[in-house]
Amino acid sequence: MQHALPILLTEGHLRRGLDLAVIGRLTAFNVATRFKLPRSKAGVSVGADADLALVDLSQTFEVTLDGLFYRHRQTPYLGRALTGRVVQTILRGQPVFRDGRVVSRPAGKLVKPSV
């Protein structure tokens, strides 16, 4: 998921002309609807949760192992140049990621997988 938005921006918006509003629906409204999340997770509006990803569309970056934030450090995008760097992520109005670093403590509950 870490590279879903930059892939959509690079391949969809820049290379194929996909409208940014469509990308917004794909990454917010459609996801919230699919997983039956509350409307407060589906977009930006008064009373919504203020879950936002702020993206710099002018920044291009290379996908590297050191830049992966998930547990299993493997990706089909390794070495690929992507455009649209996420510069800040805000969860419920609080910054959780800024300038390439996680800036908050985990907010979710750790669930151990069943064997």
Question: What is the token pair recorded at 8?
Answer: 């959509």
CA dist., res. 87 & res. 75, Å (int): 20
Integer distance in angstroms from the first to the last C-alpha of the chain?
A: 24
> What's 4-102's CATH class?
mainly beta
> What does the pLDDT profile of the chain (115 residues) look like in tens digits?
788 999 999 999 999 999 999 998 888 888 878 888 877 777 777 777 778 889 999 999 999 998 888 888 888 999 999 999 999 998 888 899 898 888 988 766 655 656 5
What pLDDT score does 2 carry? 84
pTM of the predicted structure, to 2 decimals? 0.77
Exposure of 105 in the CB half-sphere (CA atoms within 13 A): 2
Q: In what order do the strands lie in the sheet with 101-102?
A: 52-62, 81-91, 94-98, 101-102
Angle at 57 between CA 21 and CA 94, to 5 degrees: 80
What pLDDT score does 115 carry? 56
What pLDDT score does 5 carry? 92
E strands present in the chain: 52-62, 81-91, 94-98, 101-102
Domain coordinates in residue numbering, the chain? 4-102
Residues near 61 by Cβ (< 8 Å), separated by ≥ 6? 6, 67, 81, 82, 85
Which residue shows structure tokens 């509350």? 38
